[in-house]
Structure 1
Amino acid sequence: MNTIRRTMTVTLVATLALFTAGCGDDSKSDTSSAGGSSSTSSGSVSGTITVFAAASLTESFTDLGKKFEAANPGVKVTFSFGPSSGLAEQITQGAPADVFASASAKNMTQVTDAGDAADPKTFAKNVMEIAVPPTNPAKVTGVNDLAKSSVKVALCQSEVPCGAVAAQVFKNAGITVKPVTEEADVKAVLSKVTLGEVDAGMVYVTDVKSAGDKVAGVQIPDDVNASTSYPIATLKSSKNAAAAQAFMNFVLSPTGTSVLTAAGFQAP
C-alpha cells in the first residue's frame, strides 16, 4: 500500500511539473507572438514609392523621406524633383508615380481634373524672396531694383509656379522686369545666383534659407509679396497605395509640419 501511495505521489509531482513547464512555454510563446504582431503592425507598409515633388521641396522632402523610412523600415522612398507644371504633365501622360506634391494648386488641379488624383490636401505655403550673391555686386536693396536695366535678373519660366508668383509680385509693385534668363525651376534660378551669373534671382524664402551663406536674401514687403500653396495627393495609378497614403499622412503630421516649418515654409 505504501509502495502504491509513493508511486502515485511521484506521478502527480511529475505531472504538475510538466503542466507548469507547459504553461511557461505558452506564456513565452504568447509574448513572442504579441511582440511579432506589434512589430508587424508598426511596419505595416512596405515596398517602394515614387514621390513627384516641386523643386522647392528638395531639402525638406529629402529629410522627411529619411524620417519616414526610419519609421517604416520596410519602405523605400524615391523622389523626382522638378517644376510642378512639368511634373503634372508627366503624371497626366502616364509617368509612374505614387504621390504628387505641387507648389501650385493650379498644377494639382491639372492632375485631379485628368482623373489621376483626388482629394488633395494643402500642407504648406511659401513666399518669395530675392536671392543675391553674398557680396551683392548690384547693390539690390528691394524689388524695385530688379526693374533696372543694369541689374541682371534670373526668373523661373512663366508657366512654373515660381515664375507665376514672381509675376504677381512685380504686378503688386507696379514694375516691369526683363530677365536675362528664364529657368525651368526655382533651383535652377538659385544656381544662377550662387554661380554669380546674375545679380539677383526671384526664389522662395525656403531656397534662400537652404542655400546658407552661398547667397544673401533681400526681403520683399508683405504688401508687395505673393505666396503659393502646396497641395499633396496620392495618385490613382499607384501600385503601392498603402505606402503612398502613409507618406502623405506623414507629411501632414506634426513631424511633417515641424520639418517644413524649420525649412522656412508657412502653415497653409
Structure 2
Amino acid sequence: MFKQVKMCVRLSIIMALMVALAGCGAVQNKAATSSMDRQGQRTGASTSKPAETVELIVSAAASMTSALKDIQKAYEPNHPGIKLNFNFGASGALQHQIEQGAPVDLFLSAAAKNMKALVDEQLVDASQQKKLLSNELVAVVSTDGKAKVTKAADLTRDDVRTVAIGIPESVPAGGYAKEALTSLKLWDSLQSKMVQGKDVRQVLQYVETGNADVGFVYQSDALSSHKVKVAFTVDPTTYKRIEYPIGVVKATQHRKEAEDFYTYLQSKEALDVFVKYGFSVLN
C-alpha cells in the first residue's frame, strides 16, 4: 500500500514538472515571436511586398525605333515600376494585330488612316488619340554606291537597277512613295525595278547592304544611318501630309500607366527627342 502511494506521488511530481516545462516553452516561443515582430517593424522586413512591375506593350511604326529607344532610356529610370516593351513594325500590320486581339496598350502609327480604322472599330477611344508628329519622304542611296541620283526622274536611268519601297498596302512610307511616283508618272515605268520591304527599316537595310540602289524612307530613317545619304527629298505636294497619331488601346489592362506614357509622349522632353531624330511636331 505504501509503495502504491509513493508511486502515485512520483507520477504527480513528474506531471507537474512536464506542465511547468511546457508553459515555459510557450512563454519563450511567444517572447521570440514578439521579438521577431518588433524587429520586423523596426527594419520593415517581411512586412511589405515588393511592388510589381507593369509591362506596357507599345506597338509603334518602325520609323520611330531610334527615337523611342532614346525615350525609353529617359522614361524608365523615372518610373521604376514601368517596363516599356516595344513592338515595331509596319503600321498596317500593327493595326491588324490589334484588330485580332493582340495585347497592346498603346499604338503609334505612321499614318492617320490606321488609327482612324481602330477608332471607327471602337478599339481606340477617339478622346485618347492625337496626331502628334510629321515627317518627310526622301530617297536614299548608299554612301559608297555608284548610282547617280539627284531627282525622281533619275530613277529611270539604266544604272539604277533596283528601287526599294515598303509594301504600299501595309507600310505607310511605301504608300506615300507610290502616291508620289504615280503623281510624277513614274510608277508604271519603275515596276520592273521595284523591291518591296515589310517595313521602312527593311527598305533602309536594303540600301545599306547594296541590295537596292535607291530606297524611299522617311527623313528620320535617313538620319539614323551613317551608311546612306539623302539623294533627294520627294516633293511634298505629290503625296498626302505624313501624320503620326498616337493612341491608347481600349483593351489595355493598365489604363493609368498607358495614359501616363501617352501624356509623356506629348511633353517637351519627349518631343525634343523626336525632333532630334528628324520628326517635326504637329500643332
**Contact kept in structure 2, 1:88 and 1:107, CA below 8 Å:** yes
Residue 164 of structure 2: which of 125, 137, 154 is its match?
A: 154
Mark the runs of 5 or more structure 1 residues left unpaired by the alignment. Answer: 1-43
Query: 1:248 aligned to 2:253?
Result: no
CA 1:221–1:86: 2 relative to 1, 3 Å: closer
Deviation at 1:168, TM superposition (A): 2.0
Deviation at 1:148, TM superposition (A): 3.4
Other-structure match for 1:214: 227
Structure 1, residues 82-111: CA drift from partner, whole Å, max 9, x if none?
Answer: 000000000000000100000001111121
Deviation at 1:200, TM superposition (A): 0.5
Residue 181 of structure 2: which of 152, 158, 170 is its match?
A: 170
Residue 112 of structure 1: which of 119, 123, 145 is its match?
A: 119
Deviation at 1:150, TM superposition (A): 4.0
- Structure 2 CA distance for aligned equivalents of residues 118 and 84 of structure 1: 18
Paired residues, what number? 224
- Structure 1 CA distance for aligned equivalents of residues 84 and 250 of structure 2: 18
Residue 65 of structure 1: which of 43, 65, 72 is its match?
A: 72
Structure 1, residues 143-169: CA drift from partner, whole Å, max 9, x if none?
Answer: 211233541111111112011110122
- Structure 2 CA distance for aligned equivalents of residues 156 and 210 of structure 1: 17
Could you say what secondary structure the match of 1:252 adopts? coil
- CA RMSD in angstroms, aligned pairs only: 1.8
CA 1:256–1:72: 2 relative to 1, 3 Å: same
Residue 80 of structure 1: which of 60, 84, 87 is its match?
A: 87
- Structure 1 CA distance for aligned equivalents of residues 178 and 198 of structure 2: 15
Query: 1:193 aligned to 2:230?
Result: no
Letter aligned with residue 158 of structure 1: P
Query: 1:144 aligned to 2:144?
Result: no
Deviation at 1:135, TM superposition (A): 2.3
- Structure 1 CA distance for aligned equivalents of residues 86 and 234 of structure 2: 34
**Contact kept in structure 2, 1:136 and 1:216, CA below 8 Å:** no
**Contact kept in structure 1, 2:135 and 2:242, CA below 8 Å:** yes
**TM-score between both structures, scaled by the size of structure 2:** 0.75
User: Percent identity, aligned pairs only?
Assistant: 33
Deviation at 1:45, TM superposition (A): 11
Deviation at 1:266, TM superposition (A): 1.1
**Contact kept in structure 2, 1:130 and 1:219, CA below 8 Å:** yes
Could you say what secondary structure the match of 1:129 adopts? strand
- Structure 1 CA distance for aligned equivalents of residues 155 and 215 of structure 2: 9
Deviation at 1:69, TM superposition (A): 0.8
**Contact kept in structure 1, 2:62 and 2:90, CA below 8 Å:** yes
- Structure 2 CA distance for aligned equivalents of residues 114 and 149 of structure 1: 47
Mark the runs of 5 or more structure 2 residues left unpaired by the alignment. Answer: 1-50
Could you say what secondary structure the match of 2:233 adopts? coil
